[in-house]
Amino acid sequence: MRVAENLEQIQKQIEAACKNSNRNPDDIKIIAVTKYVSLNRAKEAVEAGVTHLGENREEGLLPKWEVLKDKPTWHFIGSLQTRKVKNIIDKVDYIHSMDRLSLAKEIHKRADGPVKCFVQVKTSDEETKHGLAVDEVLDFIKKLNDFPNIVVVGLMTMAPFTSNEAVLRNCFRTLKELQNQVQHLNLEYAPCHELSMGMSNDFAIAIEEGATMVRIGTALVGEKEE
Ligand SMILES: *Cc1c(COP(=O)(O)O)cnc(C)c1O
């Protein structure tokens, strides 16, 4: 399927989810996750009107960035090794995987100015998911005061891979509640107005629960190519 056709389908689903939850589709940004696909497919996405691209590894980001440069807005969505920060810091607009102080320290050190970050939160007890435990998040954000180049624009989570709607809603609600608590801290460096949640299988539910950025790979640009 062409990206343009997939995009049209996804936009319809977003509109329906917004209707269900009394939200405005203009408040939802679609990030096309291009980690499985070629540069050409990423280009096709940009030509179809996608303005946000997401990659989860330096190796996937750099070759696409070299060609597309700052035409799209770039999101780094994967777990980020401290030693790799210097290679990507001047290429990405958002980092969705802030999960430890050593990473904050390195980003602060390497950046020329404020970096838009999402604090990644573990909202389910799946072993494999990265991120801070829910009860660690407020303290963590308070400590980011030491690193003035870090701006906490929002929270990010990955729900478990399940079709159990109750489990998914529960994860997304947990993140939304946490966002309210962060906003109550009233920290200038943590406006926390965004929620990065929802992927191919669960973005409609995530939107009903308050997502402002959905990260969609498979359903938009497709899976691993041959
Ligand atoms: C791969 C990935 C996605 C997109 O997953 P799909 O199920 O293909 O939509 C979203 N977020 C993160 C962090 C990812 O690694």
Structural domain boundaries in the chain: 3-221
Nearest CA to ligand 1 atom 4: 217
Most ligand 1 atoms within 8 A of CB, residue of 199, 200, 203, 213 to mutate: 199
**Mind giving me the DSSP string for 64-106?**
HHHHHTTSSEEEE-S---GGGHHHHTTT-SEEEEE--HHHHHH
Instruction: Indicate which residue's Cα is closest to atom 13 of ligand 1.
Output: 77
CATH homologous superfamily of 3-221 equals Alanine racemase (3.20.20.10)
> What value does the mean pLDDT of the chain take?
96
pLDDT top residue among 82 and 225: 82
**Which residues share a beta bridge with 122?**
133
Structure tokens at 87: 């290679």
Which residue's CA is the closest to the ligand 1 atom numbered 10?
A: 215
Rounded Cα gap, residues 52 and 50, in angstroms: 6
Q: Cβ(131) to ligand 1 under 6 A? A: no
Residue 128 has what pLDDT?
A: 67
Q: Is any atom of ligand 1 closer than 6 Å to the C-beta of 33?
A: yes
The pLDDT score that the predictor gives to residue 223 is 81
List pLDDT tens digits, range 38-50. Answer: 999 999 999 999 9
d(CA 33, ligand 1 centre) in Å: 6
Report pLDDT for 219: 97
